[in-house]
Structure 1
């Protein structure tokens, strides 16, 4: 699986969905899926986050195809931040796009926590 689209297609098949059903559930137009397939575009960051959460796969695998022999599943225990906190001195060193990425990742983790809580309540 070389492309993001091929990995998404693989996940759709593994879950036993049709592409149409997948698109409906994640509010993706079939035209966008076609563009992804033809390589005209790729999913945006927010959509990749939604797709990763929907299939419970890591963004590393979804975007880069790392460890393609198995799909990486993340859990809350996968990351031990200990007492690490973002301090103001370090965040000032970040580029604006790095700060935006961190904000998006934090939003993704909150989304995943909420989705997990909803599914297990």
Structure 2
């Protein structure tokens, strides 16, 4: 089974860019990339999200090597938001790790929206 680093390295080669270019485009230090390669550390959640969006692959594939039949496109209307764009879920009903996950997911959705707008302009 391939490691996360090996999947990232595969994607870099498939895209035809250098590791240095990859690091520069995603603000990753070459030292961190080296740590990932040696298994000393792995990318954090936010970085994994950025990498998956950069290469247009699913997080399931990037993290687990699980194939994804198609890229999922999300929109706020698919989730539990009211007309003001606010969650109708009370955050005090969520566990702390669930609150962190929701915040990270919202940041991911905003990133993908910005990226799509940049790609379309």
For Structure 1 versus Structure 2, the TM-score category normalised by the shorter chain is: 0.7 to 0.9
- Report the alpha carbon displacement of residue 75 of structure 1 after superposing the two structures with TM: 2.6
Segments of structure 1 that go 5 or more residues without pairing to the other structure are none
Q: How far apart are the structure 2 equivalents of 1:13 and 1:39?
A: 20
**2:40 equivalent in structure 1:** 40
Segments of 4+ moved more than 3 angstroms: 84-89
- Report the alpha carbon displacement of residue 80 of structure 1 after superposing the two structures with TM: 7.4
**2:71 equivalent in structure 1:** 73
**1:96 equivalent in structure 2:** 96
Q: Is the 8 A contact 1:52 1:62 kept in 2?
A: yes
Aligned-partner SS, 2:24: helix
Q: Is the 8 A contact 1:12 1:18 kept in 2?
A: yes
How many residues are paired up? 116
Aligned-partner SS, 1:88: coil
Query: Could you tell me the TM-score, scaled by structure 1's length?
Result: 0.82
Segments of structure 2 that go 5 or more residues without pairing to the other structure are 82-86
- Report the alpha carbon displacement of residue 22 of structure 1 after superposing the two structures with TM: 0.5
